[in-house]
RNA sequence: GCCGAAGUAGCUCAGGGGUAGAGCACAUCCAUGGUAAGGAUGGGGUCACGGGUUCAAAUCCCGUCUUCGGCUCCA
């Protein structure tokens, strides 16, 4: 979008036109900000006690069309900051007034907010602003950097999409405004094409595929955000967890096991208790007065294992791993299929090391991430999640700076593209977040190595160094998939359910043409042989036409289907039907049962995932 | 948690103040079938739940729960 200034200006202008329309319809509206976003624009508005619903979109769109037909010129003007403040007061626009006051005072609108960027209030950090830029169209004047199109008649095609709540300046302690989103494209064709793409993306929605492919269910009796995995879905979980653990195991990590509940005291020491006030699922004991909670993370438990005896520098790095479920009382509105749940299975690990080992350990982890995600063919963005100047972080600022420097070096030397997310760090240290996207482009944080200088200190963890001195180890948190649930959400949408052979819940479907004994026993023989090779094969003996059974196998995205009838019984050979995306990279010319099964087994073993999706 | 939308059969949905419909799925039977839907018959719903309005509520109103799109938070 940045590389299409024309479209950017159209969308930005549409935001103004929508604001103009809303002011016409509700003259008392208080306006927030109205930036351009991917595929369109939004404007934040506050109508006091009145709440807008989507029912009003027709009216708003109608008014916008009038404004577009009026073809009003967009005129740029500048005002001194004092004039601008006087304007905001006069116009009774408290949100604009707040922005202008901040600008006048500090030169920026309280750092890092999108305000300066999106509103286009150009100002060097720390310098006061003396002039601000405005745009006028018809009777509507708005604080804005621009650019805009020449006139309201030149904004292309648009459609209002939805209304949602949005906190003023993104802070949940601020009043909540209503955010109206619209799509904006250069032409009606492009708008319609985008809407069609959205519909396509919805077909990849993991919740839909989870139902269609029989992978997981959510039962109202069990509870919201507590997914249950069917046999098929469990194959995916188990295979992925096995692969993830195998990679860590090969790199020297050892399995540990901890219970799923703990006393509240544990988290008071770790620092989590104060930090995560409302996420605890409390457990009531009828025997003791201990206050117990479901574990929402594993690090404090794992640290108790480390701390259970004296440690020498010779033991470090000490590497623990465990794939285990943690529980968080996520708020109802925050749940999202598998992407955001309350029972979170982490392929977690905690490594205790000396400061001089951090760099190589982190590099090692970054390489593991790289390999895992390249095998799974899942693209990732890399974010260095650093602290900002809020006071919610624990630990020494110098250590933080040092740690952040190390993370930067690690991704630099790995040659990775990354961006820095200020204020995205954990309370105990900075992290590298690897981020996947779902079918609709929503970001899902998956793998994450995190540095921690705080918790080992709080738990009094020590090791005896070469020089006989007791020192505090550094802890590295690391999850390769992050959570299996969230990973699956991204992965199911990425593959559209066409899993590579090694992950496919059902690898071979044997379709019996008839239920004659000879056919049935041949099918059974094929299945037994497949099972012996560790392959997952099922037989379809159902009372349906062959065409129907093939269709069913296709719909379930089974990689290999084999039709078994008299012909096969006689010749002893099979003609596999191969899912299109798999056919592209493996030779499947063999037809005897042994050859066929060997090909499939090799495919599964190689974890080949090159697909033509 | 907040703003908006929605909840009708296992699934996808239609209907709508006068005690419910389709397709698929499921079951039974017929058909012995050859690489993406063979045919017939049948079972299945307190129309999310709880209140209210009404002679009458699945339909209108209120509340709760759950789901969806965002915001905040996050693996």
DSSP string, A109-145: SSSSSHIIIIII----TTSPP-EEEEEEETTEEEE--
pLDDT in tens, A441-463: 889 999 999 999 999 999 999 99
**C-alpha distances out from residue A238 to A101, A434, A504, A588, Å:** 56, 22, 12, 28
Residue A557 tokens, joined: 């995205």
Closest CA to A430 of A406, A455, A462, A446: A406
Query: How many angstroms is C1' of B20 away from CA of A213?
Result: 30
Task: State the nucleotide closest to A433 in CA–C1' terms.
Answer: B75
Query: How many angstroms is C1' of B60 away from CA of A162?
Result: 26
Task: State the nucleotide closest to A334 in CA–C1' terms.
Answer: B73
**Is A467 marked active-site?**
no
Residue A586 is predicted with a pLDDT of 64
Query: How many angstroms is C1' of B42 away from CA of A515?
Result: 24
Pairing of strands A318-327, A470-471: unpaired
**Is A494 marked active-site?**
no
Residue A114 is predicted with a pLDDT of 40
β partners of residue A74: A137
Other CB atoms within 10 A of residue A277 CB: 7
C1' of nucleotide B28: residue with nearest CA: A543
Closest CA to A557 of A499, A601, A502: A499
β partners of residue A167: A176
E runs forming strands in A335-472: 343-353, 381-386, 419-422, 431-437, 443-445, 448-452, 463-464, 470-471
**Is A350 marked active-site?**
yes
Name the 3-class secondary structure at A199: helix
Residue A238 is predicted with a pLDDT of 97
β partners of residue A43: A180
Angle formed at CA A530 by CA A571 and CA A526, multiple of 5 degrees: 30
**Is A431 marked active-site?**
yes
Task: State the nucleotide closest to A296 in CA–C1' terms.
Answer: B75
**C-alpha distances out from residue A579 to A296, A495, A504, Å:** 41, 13, 11
For residue A308, how far is the Cα from the chain centroid? Answer: 36
Dihedral sign for Cα atoms in the order A265, A266, A269, A271: negative
Give the whole-angstrom CA distance, residue A198 versus residue A317.
47
**Is A260 marked active-site?**
no
Q: Residue A571: CB partners within 8 Å, gap ≥ 6?
A: none
Other CB atoms within 10 A of residue A212 CB: 13
Residue A601 is predicted with a pLDDT of 94
Query: How many angstroms is C1' of B53 away from CA of A419?
Result: 59
Residue A587 is predicted with a pLDDT of 66
C1' of nucleotide B74: residue with nearest CA: A340
Other CB atoms within 10 A of residue A295 CB: 24
Query: Using an 8 Å Cβ cutoff, are A10 and A184 in contact?
Result: yes
Give the whole-angstrom CA distance, residue A295 versus residue A280.
8
Name the 3-class secondary structure at A545: coil
- Global pTM? 0.92
A595, burial (CB in 10 Å: exposed 0-12, middle 13-18, buried 19+): middle
Give the whole-angstrom CA distance, residue A43 versus residue A38.
14
Dihedral sign for Cα atoms in the order A371, A372, A378, A381: negative
Residue A276 is predicted with a pLDDT of 82
Those nucleotides of strand B lying less than 7 Å from any protein Cβ are 1-5, 11-12, 25, 29-38, 65-75
pLDDT in tens, A360-397: 999 999 999 999 999 999 999 999 999 988 888 998 89
**Is A328 marked active-site?**
yes
Query: Using an 8 Å Cβ cutoff, are A176 and A45 in contact?
Result: no
Residue A279 is predicted with a pLDDT of 82
Write down the H helix ranges in A331-396.
Answer: 358-375
Query: How many angstroms is C1' of B23 away from CA of A530?
Result: 37
ipTM: 0.93
pLDDT below 70 — which residues of chain A?
1-3, 106-128, 583-590, 609-613
Query: How many angstroms is C1' of B52 away from CA of A46?
Result: 33
Task: Identify the active-site residue in A12, A350, A387, A536.
Answer: A350
Give the whole-angstrom CA distance, residue A504 versus residue A492.
11
**Is A206 marked active-site?**
no
């Amino acid at each position: 979008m940045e590389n299409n200034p024309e479209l950017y200006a159209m969308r930005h202008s549409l935001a103004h036109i929508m604001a103009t329309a809303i002011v016409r319809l509700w003259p008392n509206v208080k306006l927030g900000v109205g930036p351009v976003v991917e595929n369109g624009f939004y404007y934040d508005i506050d109508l006091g006690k009145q709440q807008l619903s989507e029912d009003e979109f027709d009216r708003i769109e109608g008014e916008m069309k009038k404004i577009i037909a009026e073809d009003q010129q967009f005129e740029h003007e500048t005002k001194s900051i004092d004039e601008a403040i006087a304007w905001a007061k006069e116009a009774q626009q408290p949100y604009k007034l707040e922005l202008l006051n901040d600008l006048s005072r500090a030169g920026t609108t309280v750092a890092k907010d999108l305000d300066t960027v999106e509103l286009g209030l150009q100002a060097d950090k720390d310098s006061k602003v003396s002039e601000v830029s405005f745009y006028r169209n018809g009777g509507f004047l708005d604080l804005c950097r621009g650019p805009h199109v020449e006139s309201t008649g030149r904004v292309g095609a648009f459609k209002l999409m939805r209304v949602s709540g949005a906190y003023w300046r993104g802070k949940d302690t601020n009043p909540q405004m209503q955010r109206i989103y619209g799509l904006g494209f250069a032409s009606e064709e492009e708008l319609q094409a985008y809407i069609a793409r959205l519909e396509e993306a919805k077909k990849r929605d993991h919740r839909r595929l989870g139902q269609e492919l029989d992978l997981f269910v959510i039962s109202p009796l069990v509870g919201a955000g507590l997914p249950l995995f069917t046999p098929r879905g469990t194959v995916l979980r188990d295979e992925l967890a096995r692969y993830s653990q195998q990679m860590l195991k090969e790199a020297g990590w050892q399995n540990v096991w901890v219970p799923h509940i703990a006393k509240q005291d544990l988290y008071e020491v770790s620092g989590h208790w104060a930090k995560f006030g409302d996420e605890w699922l409390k457990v009531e004991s009828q025997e003791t007065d201990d206050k117990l909670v479901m574990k929402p993370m594993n690090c404090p438990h794992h640290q108790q294992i480390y701390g259970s005896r004296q440690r020498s520098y010779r033991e470090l790095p000490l590497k623990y791993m465990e794939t285990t479920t943690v529980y968080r009382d996520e708020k109802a509105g925050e749940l999202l299929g598998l992407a955001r749940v309350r029972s979170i299975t982490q392929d977690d690990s905690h490594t205790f090391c000396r400061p001089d080992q951090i760099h190589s350990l982190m590099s090692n982890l970054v390489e593991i991430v790289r390999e895992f995600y390249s095998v799974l063919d899942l693209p990732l963005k890399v974010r260095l999640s650093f602290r900002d100047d809020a006071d919610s972080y624990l630990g020494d600022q110098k250590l933080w700076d040092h740690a952040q420097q190390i993370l930067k070096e690690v991704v630099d030397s790995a040659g990775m593209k990354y961006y820095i997310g200020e204020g995205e760090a954990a309370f105990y240290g900075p992290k590298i977040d690897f981020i996947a996207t779902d079918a609709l482009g929503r970001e899902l944080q998956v793998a994450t190595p995190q540095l921690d200088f705080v918790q080992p200190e709080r738990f009094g963890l020590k090791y005896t160094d070469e020089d006989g001195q007791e020192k505090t180890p550094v802890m590295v948190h690391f999850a390769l998939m992050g959570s299996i649930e969230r990973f699956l959400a991204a992965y199911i949408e990425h593959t559209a359910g066409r899993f590579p052979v090694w992950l496919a819940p059902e690898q071979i479907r044997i379709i019996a043409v008839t239920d004659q004994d000879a056919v049935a026993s041949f099918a059974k023989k094929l299945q037994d042989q497949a099972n012996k090779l560790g392959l997952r094969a099922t037989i379809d003996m159902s009372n349906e036409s062959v065409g129907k059974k093939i269709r069913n196998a296709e719909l379930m995205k089974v990689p290999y289907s084999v039709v078994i009838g008299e012909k096969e019984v006689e010749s002893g050979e099979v003609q596999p039907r191969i899912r299109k995306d798999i056919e592209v990279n493996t030779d499947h010319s063999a037809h005897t049962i042994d050859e066929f099964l060997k090909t499939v087994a090799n495919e599964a073993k190689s974890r080949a995932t090159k697909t033509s999706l």
